[in-house]
Structure 1
Amino acid sequence: METIQSCTHTRLDGNLDVENGQNDSFLYFAYGSNLLRERIMLRNPSVVFLTLAHVLDYKLAFGSFQGKPSSTWHGSTATIVQAPGDEVWGVVWKMNTTDLCSLDSQEGVEAGIYVPIEVGAHTQEGKVLTCRSYQMNNYVYGFPSPQYKKVQHKKVICMGAEQNGLPADYQKKLDSIETNNYEGPVPVFEEIEAALRVSKTVQ
């Protein structure tokens, strides 16, 4: 794992340059709520699906920065932690660098909640793509809110996994995640529901 620069710098790490050394786009490996297209597009309009992939020697976990639940989701959120022999499945999105600050902001980079890292994402075709991803700082294990997991009786993360066709066994693993049973309002959840309704109308 290598920690990389945040959007407060003028450019991405050179290894994250995409296509012929150009630095106008980058690859992002999403494993949590950003698996869902409607979720990531709320703040990052340039995003384009590239491929499914998995990162080796990591596992998916849920936690809170310094033990404090997310004020956005009212519970713990997803992170990846090093775990030899394990793997995390996700989606590789291609994004314009104009959305880099928005993505970092969503992940709480400036507040020190997550740090951007560089991971090697293995595609089903056997390629290894160098991607930006995020890992939680000062992680304390906890449970996510139902809203972090559920949209219209489906889990946000699981819905993204189903939407993009992640392996069935991995989808079952995601489906088994416990929640903290929070029942209050979550504004970003309402935004996602609205975006899903628009998507259904367009289809």
Structure 2
Amino acid sequence: MLHARDRRAPALNHPCLQLHAVDFANLPALPPVDDVYITLGTTIAAAGSQSAFRAVDYDAVLATARAALAAGASRCGVVTAMGANPHSHIFYNRIKGEVERDLQGLGFTTLVIARPSLMLGERQALQQAARPAESLSIQIFKWLDPIIPANYRARPGADIARALVHAVQSRPPGLHLLSGRELQAP
């Protein structure tokens, strides 16, 4: 059984999927788990402020990871972003880098960090607001895809998810960083 937790339950249905809307500031205990996949993220515009962004992209990610460890997880896969760096002058990249750094200190046997450039995907099913600038960027990326270096290509969320699951389940213990090139469908 796959349990998915989010700030709001998405409009998705599958017999092997249980969706739970949760408050990540008061995260309930998780059922016993083997692996955890964390794909939480927002934008500063959608969050409304830098502190609200940090509450999702840092606090909720770490709360989920800690809850998963307490529930028995030994392997973790997480999506951050290309350019993640805890010392970056760019707020977005700094928060992504800080969460990567702090996840490494939690003690997962295997930690896989996916660093896509731009994710493509259907946002309506996830009840996410439209992102006009992102929509324009996606159109440009699609048109330029053949000439953009592989690490910088926009990737469908489904490709990123497949690559992350495969890496978490097949890589040896340790830290593994997946660049944009490694997130492409075969």
Greater strand fraction, Structure 1 or Structure 2: 1
Greater helix fraction, Structure 1 or Structure 2: 2
Structure number with higher relative contact order (C-alpha < 8 Å, ≥ 6 residues apart): 1
Query: When the two structures are superposed, what TM-score results if normalisation uses the length of structure 1?
Result: 0.24
Query: When the two structures are superposed, what TM-score results if normalisation uses the length of structure 2?
Result: 0.25
